Amino acid sequence: MADSVREGLMVPPRLLVFSDEERFPQCSSQLVAVCQEARPGTVAVILRDRTQTGRERLALGRRFCTEAQQAGQLFLVAERFDLACLLDADGVHLPAHGLAPTQAPPSFSGVLSRAGHGAEALSLDELQRLDLLVISPVCAPRKGRDPLTIQGFNQRANVLRSICPTLALYALGGITGDNAPNCLQGGADGVAVIGAAMNLSDRTHLLQALQIRRE
């Protein structure tokens, strides 16, 4: 995880895709397809899958890392700095409830992402330590929380950018090829998805809407 990875985020990825083998048994194949079908440098795959055994998660991570690197995409690991180091991942995605950004190991120099609910409680030092922040839910309810709507996302994005202008912001929650362009127009640097990447039709529509489909 070299500093050059973070320097490359002057143009952040347009699409973040989270793995979820429990809900989508073919998830690994679909995420590999995302990497291959999108233009290089436009996607970050995030290994989550907390319900898997350590061995299963390691094997899945190795596949994602290899495929992402070959396609010129980024690969991040959720929560586990030790696993990210073992897999030579490009970065780590932190949950809303867990380590603060400033608690990342001193040796960590990769991309640092975080779930955005509760971001208003983060200090300036913590926000400045982040590269990516995922705000949810935006277009549909998620985990008992009502959607912000595009307007609500835009308001939150404006506040965050006034505090930390370099932070890349992503919309999560009910994102599809139909509403992804509205998220970008509403101030998002990109969108984050799970289900919208899990079949060819939805994925193609999403990549075209984001203007990142590989020709």
Tell me the per-residue pLDDT of 38-59, one tens digit each, with 9 for 90 and over: 999 999 999 998 888 889 999 9
Q: What is the model's pLDDT at position 1?
A: 42
Query: Do the bridges between strand 43-47 and strand 91-94 make them parallel or antiparallel, or are there none, so unpaired?
Result: unpaired
Q: Where are the alpha helices (DSSP H) in 130-191?
A: 149-163, 180-185
Q: Which of 121, 122, 77, 80 is nearest to 104 (CA)?
A: 80
**Mean pLDDT, residues 86-115:** 94
Question: Residue 3's pLDDT band (boundaries 50, 70, 90)?
Answer: very low
Share above pLDDT 70 across residues of the chain, in percent, rounded to a whole number: 95
pLDDT at 212 over 90: yes
Task: Say which range, 44-48, 56-60, 64-68, 116-120, has the weakest mean pLDDT.
Answer: 116-120
pTM assigned to the model: 0.94
Q: Which residue has the higher pLDDT, 77 or 98?
A: 77
pLDDT > 70? residue 10: no
Q: What residue spans define the domains of the chain?
A: 3-208
CA–CA separation, 134 and 188 (whole Å): 10
Pairing state between β 74-78 and 168-172: unpaired
List, for residues 145-177, the tens digit of each pLDDT value. 899 999 999 999 999 999 999 999 999 999 999
- pLDDT of 2 reads 41
**Residue 119 pLDDT class (50, 70, 90 cuts):** confident
pLDDT at position 143 is: 78
Architecture, CATH, for domain 3-208: Alpha-Beta Barrel (3.20)
- pLDDT (tens digit, 9 = 90+) per residue, 122-152? 899 999 999 999 999 999 988 788 999 999 9
Cα separation of 24 and 204, whole Å?
A: 18
State the average pLDDT for the chain: 92
pLDDT above 80 for 4: no
Neighbours of 157 (CB within 10 A): 21
pLDDT at 37 over 70: yes
For residue 210, pLDDT over 70 is answered with yes
Confidence of residue 5 (pLDDT cuts 50, 70, 90): low
